[in-house]
Each structure stands twice: as structure tokens, then as C-alpha cells.
Amino acid sequence: MPTHAHSSLLRVNSRQSRPHRVEVAGMASLSDLLSRLDGDPWRSAHPFSADITTACAVLLDPYARDDERKTAIRGWLAANQPCIFGRAAAKGNQLFISVVDEQLIARGDDAVKAKLKVDRQTWKQWSLGEKGRHGFLLVVLSPKLHHAAPNSGLRAFAERIRELFAEESKPDAVGNYMAYEWLYLKNPATGDFHKFRVILDFFGAAGDRRWWHDHRFPGGIAFTFNSLGHMARTQEWYQKNATPVEWAAKLGMHTISSAFPHPDHGPVTWLLPLTNGAPHKPTGCPFRNPQAVPEKIRDKDWTTYAGYHHTDHSIRAEFFDGREDPDRSRGPYLMDFSYIAGGGEGENKELMDGIVVEKAFLDADLGPVEEWRFGKPIPKPPPREPGEEEVPVGVDGKEIHPTRPAEAERKISAALAECKKWLETPIPLYAKSKDGF
């Protein structure tokens, strides 16, 4: 995501206005907006892809536990998203996943906002050092959301979630908003704390099999915050990768080149060729040996790529305008890769190198360490013997059996087993599933 190269890891150099808080007209509650969603008649002739259906057998089952949902989400991302960064983060458990469901929505918007505030702060706290969480994934699960038509009603619901969650945003010239957050990483060699800008992106079940298929997500809608700079500097500072910029540029270009080849519309993002061996922008090549890179990205522009939607926009109006095809009338967006290798100042530095901040600034955002509510998760130890798994027991020493109905147990367990297989598979370049999607 998860991604993003399609999850907003890739950006343009736009500075039209100063950040401000998002405002949504009417201020209807999430419960009200959820109740107003329309069903999607288009879906009857275009059923959900098999991988979406499998994941939803866990995500939308009322008997599924939160940890099972998160495993299903990670498995689905690891095998079924084009974003190479998102796949790697899901597979390596480097995503902080926050789940909002209908039960929480029913408690009111203040309850949703409070949960998201705690989760966002915990994500930042966990990401300060080695083995941090480079990305934040907010997932809103609801059968009604999952089956909703991508129209103004779904857009209004998504915008309300964004308002409760995103701290800063700004509009661009075409009217879509870009929303931001900050993530921090400590450089162990200097002791400095670096602040990285991260960009919000939107995904939804309604995208499955539509022209924006790359932005689909099972079970409802999702938002991602992913920091490419945080990932690259973790590689450099903690994993001793001597060429983090080359690593980031290769994966970023692979993500764009791996966009889903929609059978009716083609890919929605693509790499551009070099012009007489030169890139679109005067930024030095990030590759030590350009001819040794994989063929899919060889002789491609490392500064600029193109697409029918903008990878910096959080909630794109074109996803909700009822078009069967992407709008080709104005030509594709030209979007920026150069920040990966360009360094420099301003937003480029905030994205890749991070801005050094004082400890007092960090404490104001994350809270003093003595007031943190959650420690990092402790990895589960391996079974003592092959095939031996832990069995939860009660205070009397007897085995605890699940309280959910047998049919729900069977369905969830079968789907979860498939999701766990996805987590174990290598990360391939994007490929069609058996049903063509």
C-alpha cells in the first residue's frame, strides 16, 4: 500500500497554497453519510475479483477478530497491490493498521476521531527507530461501504473520514486536495531526529475492475500514509544499505511500471522514455550503472512519469464522476520522480532526507516517552516443535474454544489460511489473477 507509488509515495512539485485544515460542507456524521450510500448497479455485471472476495470473508464477517482482519489485510496487500513498497511493508509487518468498523461509527464521530488520534500517535512513536512502521493504513470496513457506488455519496463519506484524521491539507489547481502528515526517524550515528513529510492516499472497493483498479481495497475504503524517505533512511542508517537512493528509485520505477494492465483501459500510470538519453528534468541519474538495471526500467526517465490520476491527490474527484473511462481530454498528468535523487531543500528534503527537529518539537507531537500508551509489539516466538502451536487456555487450565458459530469459524479459518499463503509468497511484478483481474 497497501502502497505508495500508487499509495502517494510519488509526487509533483506543487506549492500553490499554505496548509490548512480540511473542511467538509454540511458536517454530516459518518453514521448519516453511511446510511445515505447508494448501491452499485454496475457491480451486478462486474462481480468483485476473487482475491477481494477471499479477503472479505474475513474483513466483513462480524465474528472476525481485529488481529485476524489485520492478517487478512497484510496478506491481501502483499500479493494483490501494484505498489512494491506497500507489498514489502505488508510482508515485513512494517505497516501500522488502524481499523474502523460500523460498531465504532455507531458510537459517533468523536469516538472515531479519538481512536484515530491515538493510533496515529502510536504509529509515530513506533517508527522512531529500527524496525519502525514506515506506513499507516486506515481501513474503514462496512458491507454498505464495500458495495457502495462511487458517486458523491461515497466521496462525502471519504471526505468526512479524512477530516477526522488528516491534520493538514491543501488544494491544487485542479481542485483535488493533498493531505499531509509527519513521521520521524532517529539517526543512530548523530542522535538527530529527522521529520519526513508523508502524503495521504485513498483506496476503495468500488475501484475493483474499474479503470482505477490499482486503487481498489477490500471491505470498504482505506487511506494510506507512506514515507519513502523514512524507508530509504532506515535502509541506510539501520540496515547499512550504502545506496538507499538507488534502492528507492528502482522500486519506485518498478511500482509505476507494474500498474495493472486493465483489459479495457490500459494502465493508469506509466514510465516515460528518455529523450536522446536525457530525462525530462535536469536531475542526475540515481543508478550507478544505468544499463545494469532491470529491463522494465532501463532507458526510462527517472525524473518524470505520467498517469491519468495524480498520485499526490488524496481523494480524487475523477474516481466519483461516473466515467467508465479515465478522462483523456486534457492529457495525462506529468508527475515527479526527481525528488528521490534530487535532494535539495523544501519539500524534496522533507520527503527524502527529512528535516532535523529538536527533541522538544518531537515531544510536542508524540508526547513525552513516559506518557506513551503502547510499546512496540513483541514478535511471537516460533513453535517449540514443528507443527506445535500455542493454544489459549483459561484460568482453570482448560482449552479456550472460540465462541463464534461453527460455520463462521470454518469460513474465517479457510479465508485466513489463503491470506497467510499470500504473505509467504515472493513479491512478483504485477500480474493478472486467474479471472483476468
> Closest Cα partner for 137 from 75, 182, 76, 200?
200
Quote the pLDDT of residue 86: 85
Q: Look at residue 282 and give its three-state secondary structure.
A: coil
Instruction: Categorise residue 201: left if φ over 0, alpha if ψ from -120 to 50, beta otherwise.
Output: beta
* Alpha carbons 65 and 57: distance in angstroms, whole number: 12
**Residue 390 belongs to a domain:** no
On whether residue 40 sits in a domain, the answer given is: yes
Mapped onto helix, strand or coil, the DSSP state of residue 127 is coil
Enter the pTM of the model: 0.86
Burial 5-20 (b: 16+ CB within 10 A, else e): bbbbbbbbeeeeeeee
Q: Is residue 392 part of a domain?
A: no
Q: Per mean pLDDT, which range of 217-226, 377-386, 394-403 is the poorest?
A: 394-403
Q: pLDDT tens digits for 87-104?
A: 888 988 889 999 999 999
Cell of 315: 481523494
Q: Grid coordinates in use for 203? A: 483506496
For 133-192, what is each residue's pLDDT tens digit? 889 999 999 999 999 999 999 999 999 999 999 877 777 777 777 888 999 999 999 999
Residue 388 located in a structural domain:
no
Residue 31 lies in a domain: yes
pLDDT at residue 18 tops 90: no
pLDDT, position 26: 54
Kindly report, residue by residue over 296-335, the tens digit of the pLDDT.
Answer: 999 999 999 999 988 888 899 899 998 899 988 888 999 9
Number of domains in the chain: 1
In a domain, 168, yes or no: yes
pLDDT at 77 over 90: yes
Whether residue 258 is predicted with pLDDT greater than 60 in this model: the reply is yes
Whether 158 maps to a domain, the answer reads yes
Which residues span the domain enclosing 28? 5-374+404-424
The pLDDT score that the predictor gives to residue 394 is 47
Residue 385 lies in a domain: no
Among positive and negative, which fits the CA dihedral 381, 378, 1, 142? positive
- Which residue did the predictor score with more confidence, 426 or 204? 204
Average model confidence (pLDDT) for the chain? 85
> What pLDDT sits at residue 344?
63
- Quote the pLDDT of residue 66: 95
Q: What pLDDT was estimated at residue 378?
A: 66
User: Could you give the C-alpha distances from 361 to 20, 137, 253, 364, 376, in angstroms and in order?
Assistant: 20, 24, 34, 5, 22
